[in-house]
């Protein structure tokens, strides 16, 4: 990099990215940083955008949000959809406001596609088509999502390889893109024009577990706590308050999908705990893969006894630059 380019990059306002899998302690660390540094928090969570979905999304409670406001939480009802493109626009607008006040945006969450969209932009993909999605949903109801995953393996093996055979939302989108465009999603993403990188000096910190078994234990404890706190009652309330169906992104969120299946009689209630824990572990596995393969932040062991001090030290260095 030339001296002029280096100087230009240094003059850009800083922005901090704090990413990690579910149950890695992101929210607690973000609040520790907010106590110490002039940062403002922006949520990077595709589930916390939904209003009234609090328990299953591990959304900070009202008292926490009053003390540590998070942008991009409670944006839409669970009947609507939120996209990575919309997140990028909303996040950049919030970041601009924060930077204009002389403070630093701290983006924290576990929706790795959102982080990638923010940093690299998005390929030009076909818009969602309700008729195509409805047709895919009917096929899934008749044949099962693993069968549609097998179909995806034939037309887009690269995308299928990174998706679990029951990842309904992503399988549907990949098949929808192929049926609308005639081209694999992976090819469109690879060929897509990258948007200009945001005008920030990014510092990315990734919270990954040195011992994945301990993270799995945390995940199990947290999901049990969600059930004890009233996750099933929350889903019942949502179904009474809104006109919901199983294909909505909100009801495909981990935890909500498993409760929905129990309430619909598609799975026994006796299996809810284990099914929820398994689905959350699969989510964490995908998040960890994203961090290691695509985003490549500076890694901190989220299970370390001194994790707060380690992250504070890295952030302090950012402010010293």
According to the model, what pLDDT value does residue 45 have?
98
Centroid of chain to Cα 55: 16
> What tokens appear for 124 in the block?
């030009």
Q: Is 61 helix (H, G, I), strand (E, B) or coil?
A: coil
With beta carbons less than 8 A apart as the criterion, state whether 39 and 103 touch.
yes
- Per-residue pLDDT band for 189 (boundaries 50, 70, 90) equals confident
- 219-261 residue pLDDT tens: 999 999 999 999 999 999 999 999 999 989 999 999 999 999 9
Burial 227-247 (b: 16+ CB within 10 A, else e): beeebbebbeebbeebebebb
Q: Average pLDDT for residues 81-108, to the nearest whole number?
A: 95
Tell me how far apart the alpha carbons of residues 247 and 141 are, in angstroms, rounded to a whole number.
Answer: 11
Neighbour tally for 282: CB within 10 Å: 14
DSSP characters over 264-306: TTSS-GGGHHHHHHHHHHHHHHHHHHHIIIII--EEEETT-TT
Q: Decide if 137 contacts 247 (C-beta within 8 A).
A: yes
Stretch (H or E) spanning 205 = strand 201-208
pLDDT of residue 188: 84
State pLDDT tens for residues 45-84.
999 999 999 999 999 999 999 999 999 999 999 999 998 8
Cα 285–Cα 286–Cα 287 angle in degrees, nearest 5: 90
CB 57 within 8 Å of CB 47: yes
Comparing 8-12, 139-143, 180-184, 267-271, which segment has the lowest mean pLDDT? 8-12
């Amino acid at each position: 990099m030339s001296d002029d380019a280096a100087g230009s990059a240094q003059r850009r306002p800083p922005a901090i990215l704090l990413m990690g899998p579910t149950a890695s302690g992101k929210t607690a660390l973000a609040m520790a940083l907010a106590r110490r540094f002039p940062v403002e928090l922006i949520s990077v969570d595709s589930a916390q955008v939904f209003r009234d979905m609090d328990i299953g999304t591990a959304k900070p409670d009202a008292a926490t949000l009053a003390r540590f406001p998070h942008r991009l939480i409670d944006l839409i009802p669970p009947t609507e959809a939120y996209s990575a493109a919309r997140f990028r626009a909303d996040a950049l607008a919030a970041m601009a406001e924060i930077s204009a006040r002389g403070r630093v945006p701290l983006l924290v969450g576990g929706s790795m596609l959102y982080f990638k969209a923010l940093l690299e932009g998005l390929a030009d993909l076909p818009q969602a088509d309700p008729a195509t999605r409805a047709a895919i949903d009917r096929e899934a109801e008749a044949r099962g999502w693993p069968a549609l995953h097998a179909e995806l393996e034939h037309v887009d093996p690269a995308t299928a390889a990174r998706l679990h055979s029951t990842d309904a939302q992503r399988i549907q989108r990949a098949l929808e893109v192929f049926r609308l465009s005639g081209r694999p999603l992976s090819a469109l993403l690879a060929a897509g024009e990258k948007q200009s990188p945001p005008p920030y000096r990014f510092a990315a910190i990734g919270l990954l577990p040195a011992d994945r078994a301990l993270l799995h234990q945390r995940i199990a404890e947290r999901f049990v706590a969600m059930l004890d706190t009233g996750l099933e009652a929350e889903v019942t309330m949502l179904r009474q308050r809104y006109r919901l169906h199983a294909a909505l992104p909100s009801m495909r969120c981990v935890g909500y999908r498993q409760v929905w299946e129990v309430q619909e009689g598609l799975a026994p209630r006796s299996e809810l705990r284990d099914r929820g824990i398994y689905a959350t572990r699969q989510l964490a596995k995908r998040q960890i893969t994203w961090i290691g393969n695509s985003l490549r932040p500076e890694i901190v062991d989220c299970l370390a006894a001194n994790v707060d001090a380690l992250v504070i030290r890295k952030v302090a260095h950012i402010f010293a630059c």
